[in-house]
A = this chain, B = another copy of it.
C-alpha cells in the first residue's frame, strides 16, 4: 500500500505537499495523539496551556483532520447525498437549495449526483453515493418499483421526493399531481376547451404516469385527450410543437414548465398566438415562467418546502426515528396569460 512516496517522485512542478497527520502534530507539540484529537474537537477538559501548544503546532504544520479517517473512526461522514435525474430542471435546483440550507444547520453537507436521465446509471450512482455518506435523498428516481424495492436495504436511510414506494416504510414527499392536473383541466374546461393535447414526459417518470392517469380519469365524457410523446426539457417542448397544429386541439397540457416554455417559444415562431389560438399550461411553477410571454398558467408546487421537509425526515431516520410515511403537497393553480377562451 501507500506508494505515495513513489508518486511524489514523479515529474511534477509543485511541491511534495505531504499532509500533516495527527501524529506529527502530537510529536511537534510534545503531547499524545489523543490530546491533539481532543483539542481539534473542542473538548473543554484539556489544560489551556497544552491546548495552545497543540493549536500552534497544528497551525504551523497546516494540519487539518482527515475527513476520511474521521469518517471511518466515527462510523459517520457528516454528508448526505441527493440524486436527481436532471440538474438542469429548476425544480430540482429548488429542492437542492432548500436541502443544502436545512442540512447545513445540522452541520451536514450535501453531495449532488446527476444521473442525467440515464436509467442504468441510476442504481449504481445511488448505491455508490449512499455508501459514501450517511443518508440519501432520491429525487424522482426513474428506476422501476421492484428495483428500488430491492435496493432499499442498501440505500437506507433515504427519503423519496416526487415518488412513493409502496410496501415499505420509506418516507416520501410527493406532489398531488392528480389534484394539480384536475385544477388545470377544470380551468381549461371552464374556458371552453374540449380537445386537449398532453405532452408526455419520460415514460420512466412515475410522476408522468400519475399525470396521465389523472388526465384520463378527468377526460371521461368531458373532453378529448391526445397524448403526444415529448420529454422533460425545453428542447423537447420546442421540438414537439410542430406536431400540435395537425392535432386539432385548442389547449396543451405540458409535462412540466420547461416543456411548456419550449412549446410556447416554438408556437410563437410558428406565428400561432397564445392564448388566442392555443392555450397552454405547465406544471411546477419554476422561477421564470411568470416572466415568459405570455406568462405561463401552471400548477404551482411549493418547491421551497420540499428541501427542508426532506431533510427533516432524513434527519429523523438517521436518528432511528420513524417519520410519517408519505406527505403529499397540493399544488396551487396559478392562472396567468397563457390560457384563454377556446377559439371559435
Contact = CB atoms under 8 A, between A and B. Distances in A.
A90 B234 CA distance: 12
A223 interface: no
Contact of A291 (B14, B156, B266): B266
A67 B132 contact: yes
Given A93-B88, A112-B111, A321 B77 contact: no
A245 interface: no
Contact of A90 (B72, B88, B319): B88
Interface in A308-339: 319-322
Contacts of A7: 320
A265 B73 CA distance: 54
Given A87-B93, A109-B128, A322 B12 contact: yes
A96 interface: yes
A72 B68 contact: yes
Nearest to A69: B72
A72 B74 contact: no
A222 interface: no
A81 to B, nearest CB: 9
Interface residues of A, number: 67
Contact of A293 (B73, B234, B269): B269
A288 B264 CA distance: 12
A11 B320 contact: yes
Nearest to A76: B4
A148 interface: no
Would you list the 5 A-B pairs with minimal beta carbon distance, nearest first?
A10-B320, A112-B112, A12-B320, A13-B322, A265-B291
Interface of A: 1-2, 4, 7-8, 10-15, 17, 62, 64, 66-69, 71-75, 77, 79, 87-88, 90, 93, 96-97, 100, 109-114, 116, 125, 127-128, 131-132, 153-154, 156-157, 169, 234-235, 238, 261-262, 265-266, 268-269, 287-288, 291-293, 319-322
